[in-house]
Chain A
Amino acid sequence: MRSNVSQYDLIAPGSLAAVLNALADSPGEFTPIAGGTELMVALGAGRLEAKKLVSLWGIPELRFIEVSEDAVTIGAGTTFTDLRRHPVIASDFTLLAQAASWTGSIANQNRGTLGGNCVNASPAADSPPALLVYEAELTLISASGARKVPYGKFHLGYKKTMLRPDELLYSIQLKRNFSGYVSYARKVGTRNAQAISKVAIAALARVHGGVIEEIRLGAASLRETPARLVATELALTRRSVDAELGPTIAAARTALAGECRPIDDIRSTAKYRAAVAGNLVEEFLRGL
């Protein structure tokens, strides 16, 4: 059943300061809406709980990509199209560029924002695995100030984040120090294009002399939040990826089975997700 739109209110104060003031004046009353690719779907399906919304669309202070020598800072209102068009994202953060390219269709990429993808906090979202392995730092902002938090700490539980009711995600910062890493990303969905993932992995590794010095694995749809696979990373660190890969792969599969908690839902089964996750990690290891 479609919602009755006249029961909903939307304000568009037009500037970051005005949005923050609205949130501070009545904490918890307004739900921010950026490109609407999530909340408008809920509205159409008659399941949008928020009745008062505040628009973040068209606020220039939230839509930017700032490049310095050692970092890239991305405004939360940056669209997936903006990310795909940016040369430094393409050169330095291929996992994020890749995730942006497989988020919905062109029309959805023109509206969907990186900040929205984080705050919506779906465990199946496309960009979080990349942001987790790049160890992004978030800036959260409110009328009373800003605070920085590691993205790895942002997700507290299923669809639950550390954002306070008066706060917005302001920006996402990535350090530019991944030149010596091998990267890998693969999303497994029902179709090649325009599908929500059944399971996805973004990964980085630094290999020296045939030994994994460092490995980072970010996953979608394997736990109740987007998550790093820390036990698997630990099991793989200092492992050899030279000729005999068998023991390395076995160690990875055992650790992964112990830490992934996939579920059965409309898109897939827990069993399939766990099996595919193991195969993806193996595929990454075979490519090192």
Chain B
Amino acid sequence: MSAITLTINGESKTITAPPMKRLLDVLREDLHLTGTKEGCGEGECGSCSVLMNGELVNSCLVPVLQAAGANVCTIEGVAVEGRLDAVQQCFLEEGGAQCGICTPGMILATHHLLDKYPQPTMAQIQEGLAGNLCRCTGYKRIFNAVESCAKKSHA
């Protein structure tokens, strides 16, 4: 077991866990942040996406010791003072969320994308979200949500 300190959604946390425990499981089991979902558990579906030091990562493929000292942002850290942020609001308005399993990862991938390309092309949106699989929406409404968010932040 290792004592590991990391910053989660702006708060410093110290947990004791096996060093190879997946960051995903530490978030869900040790920190009770169950917004991060497990889909495939092998880095293919993006359901467990979080931001680690600003970079999008699959938390199922991060041994928690490698997150020591890192700044991790999960879906719980996206809303501002209990109110949906712009990306979440656009997903809601455009019907970009249905069953909800892919949604936390989609929202974080969208943040990562819009940080890099504030006015993304459709090709950039598609590539930026290619690691996040959705089995409900057919993607169109998700792409609409990202476009709408980019448009709003530009206005």
Q: Does B72 contact A (CB under 8 A)?
A: no
From B83-91, B123-131, B140-148, give the one contacting chain A: B123-131
Q: Which residues of B contact A57 (CB under 8 A)?
A: 66
Number of A positions contacting B (CB below 8 A): 31
Contacts of B59-78 to chain A: CB distance below 8 A:
60-63, 65-66, 68
Q: Give chain A nearest CB distance to B121 CB in angstroms.
A: 15
With A40-B62, A107-B58 known to touch, is A8 a contact of B130 (CB < 8 Å)?
A: no
Q: Does B134 contact A (CB under 8 A)?
A: no
Q: Which residues of A contact B60 (CB under 8 A)?
A: 40, 44
Flag if B65 contacts A104 (CB, 8 Å): no
Q: Which residues of A contact B20 (CB under 8 A)?
A: 5, 8-10, 43, 53
Flag if B131 contacts A107 (CB, 8 Å): yes
Cα A9 to Cα B64 in complex, Å, equals 12
Flag if B131 contacts A10 (CB, 8 Å): no
Contact of B65 among A45, A55, A105 (CB under 8 A): A55
| 9 pairs of A and B residues whose beta carbons are closest in the complex | A105-B131, A10-B19, A8-B20, A40-B61, A193-B130, A110-B55, A41-B42, A57-B66, A44-B41
Which A residues are closer than 8 A to B by beta carbons? 2, 5-6, 8-12, 33, 35-37, 40-41, 43-45, 53, 55, 57-58, 81, 104-108, 110-111, 193-194
Q: 5 interchain pairs (CB within 8 A)? A: A9-B20, A37-B43, A53-B20, A110-B57, A111-B58
